[in-house]
Chains A and B, each alone.
Chain A
Amino acid sequence: MTGSILFEAIVFLLGAIICVSIAKRLGLSSVIGYLLAGVLIGPYVLGFIGNEGEDIMHFAEFGVVVMLFLIGLEIEPKNFWNMRKTILGMGGLQVAGTMLLSYILFTSLGYDWKVALVISMAVALSSTAIAMQTIKEKGLMDTTFGTSSFSILLFQDLIVIVMLGIMPLLGHSDIVSSADNHKEHVNLLDKLPMGFQTLAIILSVVLIIVAGKYLIVPMLRKVAKTGVRELLIAAALLIVFSISFLMEYVGLSPALGAFLGGVVLSNSEFKHELESTLEPFKNLLLGLFFMAVGASINFIVIAKSPLTIGGILLAIIVIKAAVLFGTGYVFKLKLDQKLLLTFGLAQIGEFAFVLLSFAFGLNILNQEQMDMMLVITALTMSLTPIISIINERLILPRIGTKESVQRPMDHIAKSQKIILVGFGHFGSTVGRFLRSHGVEATILDQDSNRVDFLRKMGFEVYYGDATRLDLLESAGIAKAKILICAIDNPSVTKQVTKMVKEKYPHVELMIRVKNRYEAYDLLNLGMENIYRESLETSLVLAKDVLSKMGFRKHTLNRQVHNFIKYDEEIIRRLAKELKPGNDSYIFKARQELEQQEKFLNEDFKRGIVEFDNQWDSEHIKKALEKTKD
């Protein structure tokens, strides 16, 4: 419409802000909002973004690149090795199964075997961007579904290297150079003979690993020494950009290189620094990426042959879903986890864009085939969040109820006096300590695999979503004395405790919260027993620091007690000052800062702690001297 970069930026940002906030208000994933924004501003609806959509997509792919770098950072090679069975097993099964079925589909539709092979490679891959974003948003990373998805996606990210390596062997390299005018960047590989191409790929992977150890880490150390924060941001971006450039130069997926780079750096001391630095870039770029996907849906291609595309689209989703379900079955996932996995990964991923255009460049695919597959890919990605909603709102609730009813009622009927909700890192410690005193709490957890595992260990753990009152009721809330809420997610905690306080006021609530801010919230709802998970640990650390500086431990211990008491007093006082009814994030963040300021002011007024006079004869000596005078 207009070439102005500013105008485009405004269109994108406005689209994102409007659509994502609408999606969030409707309780949908932000991915849906972004995709919708993309469709709206794209060439076929409002037309703000025209052909430049492709360039934007190219730019926005950096979001995926940065995301994979971050994912790589989180996987230390050791963990990677520990997960090898799930990664290879689940991932291998999924990719092989999907490729086989879709190869059969496309050859039976009359496609050439090379075309069918390339397309089925693309189909086998799922979208790391969409799946991981959704999983993280819902806080499901710790569940079996989360780790299974992660393993499968990781395997796919790895297998892409092989696919990209194989593809040149399928192509007709002599025709390539003439038809290659659509590619702006130069591929080093195009000029090399075929055997060398594979070698170059292997070499570049090795290069990243070596450079990570001997070049990047020393560089980061130098940068960190300067103490200039934005230099570190620059360095982080430089790393990601250089790796991407290198990978593109040899014709590989930049995302993959970034992932490798991340893994290499995950053992370095800069892991967390890099993570926090790149996180905001990742989120914005990913949003842009999803919008670009939405904008790239070519409605003309769809309009030309809606039935064919619709049919293939449906077939692909069914194939992917069936294979994922089967994989879940082989690896003995619970039904609910299996369904989450099935619908969560049943789309074609962003790597397909890379694979398909690479194959197009190699003249394996023609323009029509590529356009069709690009449209289908974008459509499957757009459908995923919608399918997931159907699964979560319509299918899972029924299954959830069934599973909890199927559990033997006699155990729940024992109605222990204590109910423990959430059996993660926090809750499991609580449960173990109670159990070591012969107190068996009724435990609720929403990861059915964990439930089964813990039951084997002899724990009384029940499966279900604690925000459902009927489940709490069948767990014996009516007769319970205490409900321990050890849930990780603040909004779920609020929901559960509010509900129990309202319906069963006799039950004493003992609540784990993450921080002061969550504590304010619950204090204002009238909750009493609130346990901030970071308070005591941070004081123990501070105490040890002072001890190392020469303060005596016993005195410090007493001061820690005083500090906790003092902190609890302020928190109760400041909670009242918070204005209720303002839930918006920005407002909260600003209030948080104001509160922090008040805390520091209170500390300042209190001054350096006056040590008490206990076991101190100084003041006695002084007083006695006074009486002599």
Chain B
Amino acid sequence: MNKILVLFSHPKYEKSKVNTALVNHIKDIEGVTFHDLYECYPDFHIDVEAEKGLLEAHDIIIWHHPFYWYSCPPLMKQWIDLVLEFGWAYGPNGNALQSKTCLNVITTGGAREVYCSEGTNSFTVNQFLRPFEQTANLCGMKYLPPFAVMGTHTLTDDQLANHVIQYGKLIYLLQQNLELNDFNGCFFLNDIPQLQPQ
């Protein structure tokens, strides 16, 4: 069973109904380490050695965060800056993360329709996530398509409940070490057949 590390970063978690629901559903699953960055490092003073230890102890890394200005919250960027060290995560002898798997789990206010060339945001979510994809590539990690809960401003309780269940199922699938090929061709992990209601 793959060990999963959820690196969660949300500067105002206590006010986020969607993320509270998502997190509560998965944080206590066996084999999942839920790591709340804003709670651990309120002053942005990240303990790099501890973080490196956590990464080494897990097989799958999930960057779980809201999508702010087409990117992650600042503490997560700080985490990337500090933890993914030259000579450890990349560069000569930088192979600590080789063959691990990595993905983004995001929430966006705007619906899926506005993230396309014709929509107000002009680009797709996958395009906006390119920096994360390449970060994973440079560190030798497999990068999976994102799991995204979108249109949170207008989300109904039923829709949210559905997303929450899907997130739980996804975690289960990731733990079972599914072949990468299973996900090919998806823009979002939300769309893979295993997560659709039977």
Contacts and interface: CB of A to CB of B under 8 A. Distances in A.
B43 A623 contact: no
Tell me whether chain A's interface is mostly helix, strand or loop, or mixed.
helix
A81 interface: no
B85 to A, nearest CB: 7
A606 interface: no
Contacts of A620: 86, 91
A623 B88 CA distance: 12
Given A623-B92, A627-B92, A561 B45 contact: yes
A615 B92 CA distance: 18
B74 interface: no
B55 interface: no
B189 to A, nearest CB: 32
B81 A614 contact: yes
Assign chain B's interface to a size class. Answer: 10 to 19
B43 A561 contact: yes
Contacts of B45: 558, 561
Contacts of B82: 614
A623 B87 CA distance: 9
A620 B91 CA distance: 8
A619 interface: yes
Interface in B76-95: 81-82, 85-87, 91-92
Most buried by A among B43, B82, B86: B86
A613 interface: yes
Given A558-B45, A561-B43, A561-B45, A623 B81 contact: no
B35 to A, nearest CB: 19
Interface in A577-629: 612-615, 619-620, 623-624, 626-627
Contacts of A612: 48
Contacts of B81: 614-615
A152 to B, nearest CB: 49
Tell me whether chain B's interface is mostly helix, strand or loop, or mixed.
loop
Contacts of B86: 613, 619-620, 623
B85 A623 contact: no
Contacts of B87: 623
A627 B87 CA distance: 12
B169 to A, nearest CB: 38
Interface string B32-49: 000000000001010010
B70 to A, nearest CB: 23
A434 B51 CA distance: 32
Contacts of A627: 92
A627 B86 CA distance: 14
Contacts of A614: 48, 81-82
Interface string B20-37: 000000000000000000
Contacts of B92: 623-624, 626-627
B94 to A, nearest CB: 10
A613 B85 contact: yes
A619 B92 CA distance: 12
Nearest to B82: A614
Most buried by B among A612, A614, A615, A619: A614
Nearest to A564: B45
Nearest to B83: A614
18 contacts: A558-B45, A561-B43, A561-B45, A612-B48, A613-B85, A614-B48, A614-B81, A614-B82, A615-B81, A619-B86, A623-B86, A623-B87, A623-B91, A623-B92, A624-B91, A624-B92, A626-B92, A627-B92
Interface of B: 43, 45, 48, 81-82, 85-87, 91-92
Interface of A: 558, 561, 612-615, 619-620, 623-624, 626-627
Given A614-B82, A624-B91, 19 more contacts: A558-B45, A561-B43, A561-B45, A612-B48, A613-B85, A613-B86, A614-B48, A614-B81, A615-B81, A619-B86, A620-B86, A620-B91, A623-B86, A623-B87, A623-B91, A623-B92, A624-B92, A626-B92, A627-B92
Identify the 4 closest CB pairs spanning chains A and B, nearest first. A561-B45, A620-B86, A614-B82, A627-B92
